[in-house]
A and B are shown apart, each in its own frame.
Chain A
Amino acid sequence: MAAQTMTGAEIVINALVDQGVDTIFGYPGGAVLPIYDALFQQNKIRHILVRHEQGAVHAAEGYARSTGKPGVVLVTSGPGATNAVTGLADALMDSIPLICLTGQVPTHLIGSDAFQECDTVGITRHCTKHNWLVKSVDDLGRIMHEAFYVATNGRPGPVVIDIPKDIQFQSAEYAGMQNVAHKTYRPRVKGDIEAIREALELIANAKKPIFYTGGGVINSGPVASQLLRDFVQLTGFPITSTLMGLGAYPASGKNWLGMLGMHGTFEANNAMHDCDVMINIGARFDDRVTGRLDAFAPNSKKIHIDIDASSINKNVRVDVGIIGDCAHVLEDMIRLYKAKAIRPDKAALADWWKQIDVWRDRKSLSYKASDEVIKPQYAIQRLHELSKGRDTYITTEVGQHQMWAAQHFPFEKPNHWMTSGGLGTMGYGLPAAVGVQIAHPDALVIDIAGEASIQMCMQEISTAVQFMLPVKIFILNNEYMGMVRQWQELLHGGRYSHSYSESLPDFVKLAEAYGATGIRASTPGELDAKIQQMFDTPGPVIFDCLVDKKENCYPMIPSGAAHNEMILADDEDSASVSEEGKMLV
């Protein structure tokens, strides 16, 4: 394409179109008016007007995680940018590719404490993968394309481009998609073949192996998930996953142990503790997963595949670190595994599975059923059962409901589960659901929420109504910030300091006030019919599911404990936490 002269605002739009962007999430304001004006005069990009900038970022995250494409956000300067910060930090922790365009006061006013001015690049430096302040309109086109490159290559993450208002008005030549290769940032995707050989040596001799996989497999794309499935089948090894990695291996797969970590299954955590070879693919030894570090899988050799070199040996020292993209590394691994005709130790593996079955028989996800009150776990199981056969995407807020969703809603495919893992952002689920529904208009998109979390970005129901997005908000309403209460019960003598949800709105009326549909279920008997009614309702629905107020989320590794020191639902009365554990979050 020959270079064309256009305004900065037009460069922004053209660069987005060149990058294949068809949807952006945003909120207008003084410092982005020229870009909004350019948006108004075109029809290639659809703009989704949110109700709060945090919602825009989470919506873009939902869009990105469910499509594999980067999400794009457009917000104004000052409060527009600061409101976006939580979403950016969330995306950084969970490695979600986002491009966030922020308006800035005109160049000559920067540093003068102008109206709606803030040091956006300074504030967002720590919660983005990279950011730019555009100082000359001549740089704008290049920076736009560089930003997409940085956000989507290597370990993905959010980036910010801060564009002063005068730059949006000025004209420059725009040369299209050229020179996207970055001068300094060129992450490697192919793993070191020697390291892969070393890993295979460990795998070949493993007696009690386990795959421990994470969000990196999802981020790498559908090929990585397929290769993972192939490799698990080839080896016959058991597999567990972090919260972020659910769906990469199907929950119905026979080697699946369920999620691991603080609220993971008994079999997954015990297998992690007792394994002799751990194959970590795209996970990062997060503290929710490892528990007490000095007691973490003490007798194991550890292999770690990660695209980010800084993830390797950060929390846990590993024996073989492989820096590269999961799909590339798995491809090489499978090829060499076959070429070397590696045969796993069948007898040892059979013993290992026998031991795992003993742990499985403990049925750590079981709970006391009730025909009087709705158990939250039961509600999620019914939600899953009744949604079978549909293309279902689940988002969540943060807390007990999130863990119950992870435990009781099985995922068969990647990119169908959107939850705030690293940052743990209450308020994530509803706007994320908006973003998912925008990308998948015909899918069933459910935000499994709590009555406390949902109020943090409640306003986005208005976005759903405006854009006729049939998102289903399924609130497990126990009138408590349940996870806070659970910890207060466990750690602070049952002194429920400010964790009771006082003065709750009537969620049914609230739905109606927004122009959505409200449904309430309070007994197990009526649950199925009400869930069906929710599915059959064409527009957005708020489902107020009144659940057991005192239910706690088990199993649980209390903080400061090891994988084999889990509290199960049936021994919750004897639960205790060490003094050091109390210090941890």
Chain B
Amino acid sequence: MNAENKVERHTMAVLVDNEAGVLARVIGLFSGRGYNIESLTVAEVDQAEHTSRITVVTTGTPMVIEQIKAQLDRIVPVHKVVDLTTETHAIEREMAMVKVAGTGEKRVEALRLSDAFRARVIDTTHTSFVFEVTGTPEKIDAFIGLMRPLGLVDVSRTGVVAIARGPEAM
């Protein structure tokens, strides 16, 4: 497989006007043109300007990735699109809440492992914990994998947020 056909994973930041339907436009673009969404997060980032930032993780060949960026860019309420993977050196984080139920040995083991992941306990009963864990998606995958045999019952993940290193805005 040559470089042109290699499927890559890219994280894009999309700054949009926070108007009705803007998220549907972005998601509709991906579904309508058959692009993948691995993760998508959105929240308002500037109340005064009514702008929201969408972070989308997608996969595709370099030509598809370039196309996704161009397609995003021409959505009317989109201010700016940055391919964080190619254009910047970016930091990615994801947060998850992980519920583990159980007693005895397994419960102790879950707590011990959570410490290694710097996960915080944000809710507890005699038979359960809810952990809050932050990190790269891979770290969260690893944590969830470890919890599975220890009584994992529920997971809620935020999806990836990302920002470029250094002093510049996107």
Q: Which residues of A contact B (CB under 8 A)?
A: 121-122, 125-126, 129-130, 133, 135, 150, 154-155, 182-185, 308-310, 312-314, 317
A310's contact among B67, B77, B78, B79, by CB below 8 Å, is which? B67
The 8 closest A-B pairs by CB, nearest first: A310-B70, A130-B76, A309-B70, A185-B76, A310-B71, A184-B79, A184-B77, A310-B74
Given contacts A125-B21, A184-B17, contact A313 B76 (CB under 8 A): no
Listed by A's residue number, 18 A-B pairs whose Cβ atoms lie within 8 Å are: A121-B21, A125-B21, A125-B28, A126-B32, A130-B76, A130-B77, A133-B21, A135-B20, A154-B74, A155-B74, A184-B17, A184-B79, A308-B70, A309-B74, A310-B67, A310-B73, A312-B70, A314-B70
Specify which chain A residues have a CB less than 8 angstroms from the CB of B16 in the assembled complex. Answer: 184
A122 touches B74 (CB 8 A): no
User: Is B43 an interface position by the 8 A CB rule?
Assistant: no
Mask for B50-81, Cβ within 8 A of A = 1, else 0? 00000000000001001100110110111100
Closest to A309 in B: B70
A129 touches B70 (CB 8 A): no
A126 touches B63 (CB 8 A): no
Specify which chain B residues have a CB less than 8 angstroms from the CB of A125 in the assembled complex. Answer: 21, 24-25, 28
B17 touches A183 (CB 8 A): yes
* B-side interface residues, number (CB < 8 Å): 19
Closest to B67 in A: A314
Q: In the assembly, what is the distance between CA of A135 and CA of B73, in Å? A: 26
**Known contacts A309-B70, A309-B74, then 13 further A-B pairs from the complex at CB < 8 Å, ordered by chain A residue:** A121-B21, A122-B21, A122-B24, A126-B28, A154-B74, A310-B67, A310-B73, A312-B70, A313-B63, A313-B67, A314-B67, A314-B70, A317-B63
Q: How far is the CB of A22 from chain B (nearest CB, A)?
A: 27
Closest to B66 in A: A313
Q: In the assembly, what is the distance between CA of A313 and CA of B25, in Å? A: 22
Mask for B9-37, Cβ within 8 A of A = 1, else 0? 00000001100110011001000100000
A133's contact among B20, B63, B67, B70, by CB below 8 Å, is which? B20
Specify which chain B residues have a CB less than 8 angstroms from the CB of A155 in the assembled complex. Answer: 74
Query: Which residue of A135, A155, A184 has the most chain B CB atoms within 10 A of its CB atom?
Result: A184
Given contacts A125-B25, A126-B28, A126-B32, contact A308 B67 (CB under 8 A): no
Q: In the assembly, what is the distance between CA of A109 and CA of B91, in Å? A: 46
Closest to A128 in B: B76
Q: Which residues of B contact A (CB under 8 A)?
A: 16-17, 20-21, 24-25, 28, 32, 63, 66-67, 70-71, 73-74, 76-79
Specify which chain A residues have a CB less than 8 angstroms from the CB of B28 in the assembled complex. Answer: 125-126
Given contacts A122-B24, A125-B21, A126-B28, contact A184 B74 (CB under 8 A): no
B76's contact among A121, A122, A184, by CB below 8 Å, is which? A184
Q: In the assembly, what is the distance between CA of A184 and CA of B25, in Å? A: 15
Q: In the assembly, what is the distance between CA of A121 and CA of B66, in Å? A: 28
Closest to A312 in B: B70
Closest to A133 in B: B20
Q: How far is the CB of B33 from chain A (nearest CB, A)?
A: 10
Closest to B70 in A: A310
Q: How far is the CB of A314 from chain B (nearest CB, A)?
A: 6
Closest to B49 in A: A183
Q: How far is the CB of A310 from chain B (nearest CB, A)?
A: 4
Specify which chain A residues have a CB less than 8 angstroms from the CB of B17 in the assembled complex. Answer: 183-184
Q: In the assembly, what is the distance between CA of A312 and CA of B70, in Å? A: 9
Closest to A131 in B: B21
Given contacts A121-B21, A184-B17, contact A150 B76 (CB under 8 A): yes
Q: How far is the CB of A532 from chain B (nearest CB, A)?
A: 49
Specify which chain A residues have a CB less than 8 angstroms from the CB of B20 in the assembled complex. Answer: 133, 135
Q: How far is the CB of B170 from chain A (nearest CB, A)?
A: 14
Specify which chain A residues have a CB less than 8 angstroms from the CB of B32 in the assembled complex. Answer: 126
Query: Which residue of B17, B63, B66, B74 has the most chain A CB atoms within 10 A of its CB atom?
Result: B74
Specify which chain B residues have a CB less than 8 angstroms from the CB of A129 in the assembled complex. Answer: 76
Q: In the assembly, what is the distance between CA of A348 and CA of B70, in Å? A: 37
Q: In the assembly, what is the distance between CA of A183 and CA of B66, in Å? A: 24
Specify which chain B residues have a CB less than 8 angstroms from the CB of A154 in the assembled complex. Answer: 74
Closest to B31 in A: A126
